[in-house]
Amino acid sequence: MINGYCGGGMLKDLRKVLETGARAAIDQAVTVARPYPEDDLESLEAHWRSLTGLPAGDDVYVLRTCWERKPFLVPRLALLSLLNQLEGRHDKPESS
């Protein structure tokens, strides 16, 4: 995901999607989308909690890649924070 985003690559619209809370940023290799009805949110949230010790909350996206079969749930503000760090920004993501 990071390689695709950097330099305006495959996911050049990811920041706009996350800032507006839009549905998805999709390309051939990576999808960053709001959860689909068939997603097992309980299991995905449990995985996030086991990695971070924090609840994911309701404002989340599910990351899918062509090389990893299991989707990964990430809170929207965590994704924005990661993008800010990659871009060298020091501003805090705003919640909507």
- In tens, the pLDDT along 65-94 reads 889 889 999 999 999 998 888 777 666 556
pLDDT digits (tens, 9 = 90+) for 7-51: 555 556 788 888 888 888 777 788 889 999 999 999 999 999 999
Whole-structure pTM value: 0.78
What is the identity of the amino acid at 84? N
E strand map for the chain: 24-26, 30-33, 60-65, 72-75
Taking the alpha carbons of 7, 13, 16, 21 in that order, is the dihedral positive or negative?
Answer: negative
The residues spanned by each domain of the chain are 2-84
Q: Which of 39, 32, 1, 7 is nearest to 18 (CA)?
A: 32
